[in-house]
């Protein structure tokens, strides 16, 4: 039996032949809005790293400012110890809350429940969680938590590049500083004082 396909007016020899169509995935046409400090929405890997680095930088800057203000007031005779400690504890809790909110959105990106972010509070489990958050790719299309996040901006990419740079510089410093001290110690030991003639 010969079938005629009405779409292209060609003769189709088999009724069991699969349809001919493009099966390559297309780029999404709709993107979700980014709300960094919300438990709703999705966050891609690069944006997650960039926002986490930004949050860490802001938290450290705020703690430095609190410590500096406390030291300045203490030099004037004002007792600020408990107040400074309280302010730093509040800043740490705010940074932790922000980090958990970012983790929830990152989990949503690969269609996982945000409740998995509770592992961020458990020792050793938090290491596994953060590795998963950094490695797992997000779903390309919409999932139960919304449309995919928009493409990364240049600022987000540059902010995300701060993390590996700091990591590499930290490792190099951990190797170079002790080696330099050891070298300096050897030079001092073998250096002989000049004797006048």
Q: Read off the pLDDT of residues 49-99 as tens digits, 9 standing for 90 and up.
A: 999 999 999 999 999 999 888 888 888 778 888 888 899 999 999 999 999
Instruction: Report the number of distinct structural domains present in the chain.
Output: 1
> Is residue 11 included in any domain, yes or no?
no
- For residue 190, being part of any structural domain is answered with no
Task: Check residue 11 and give its pLDDT.
Answer: 61
Q: Is 184 exposed, middle or buried (0-12, 13-18, 19+ CB in 10 A)?
A: exposed
8 Å CB contact between 32 and 39 = no
Q: What is the pLDDT of residues 12-40, one digit of tens each?
A: 577 777 777 666 666 667 888 888 889 99
Per the domain annotation, does 112 fall within a domain? yes
Structural domain range at position 138: 42-158
Per the prediction, the chain carries an average pLDDT of 86
In this model, does residue 127 exceed pLDDT 90? yes
Instruction: Give the C-alpha distances (Å, rounded to integers) separating 44 from 40, 136, 157, 193.
Output: 13, 10, 11, 62
Q: What is the pLDDT of residue 175?
A: 92
pLDDT at 183 over 70: yes
Q: Check pLDDT > 60 for residue 4.
A: no
> Of the candidates 55, 49, 61, 31, which has an alpha carbon nearest to the alpha carbon of residue 158?
49
Instruction: With respect to residue 111, please indicate whether it lies within any of the assigned structural domains.
Output: yes
Q: What is the pTM of this model?
A: 0.73
Residue 173 C-beta-side C-alpha neighbours within 13 Å: 6
Confirm whether 101 is domain-assigned: yes
Hunting for tokens 């004082």 — which residue is that? 193
Q: Rounded to whole angstroms, how far apart are CA atoms 86 and 67?
A: 11
């Amino acid at each position: 039996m010969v079938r005629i396909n009405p779409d292209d007016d060609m003769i189709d020899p088999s009724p069991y032949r699969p349809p001919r169509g493009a099966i390559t995935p297309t780029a999404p046409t709709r993107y979700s809005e980014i709300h960094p400090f919300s438990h709703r929405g999705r966050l891609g890997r690069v944006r997650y790293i960039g926002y986490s680095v930004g949050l860490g930088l802001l938290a450290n800057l705020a703690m430095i400012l609190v410590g500096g203000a406390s030291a300045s007031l203490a030099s004037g005779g004002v007792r600020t110890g408990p107040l400074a400690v309280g302010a730093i504890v509040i800043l740490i809790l705010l940074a932790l809350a922000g980090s958990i909110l970012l983790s929830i959105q990152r989990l949503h990106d690969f269609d996982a429940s945000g409740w998995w972010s509770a592992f961020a509070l458990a020792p050793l489990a938090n290491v596994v969680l953060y590795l998963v958050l950094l490695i797992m790719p997000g779903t390309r299309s919409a999932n139960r938590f919304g449309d995919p996040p928009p493409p990364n901006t240049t600022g987000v990419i540059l902010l995300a590049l701060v993390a590996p740079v700091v990591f590499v510089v930290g490792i190099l410093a951990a190797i170079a500083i002790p080696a330099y001290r050891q070298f300096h110690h050897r030079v001092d030991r073998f250096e002989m004082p000049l004797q006048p003639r």
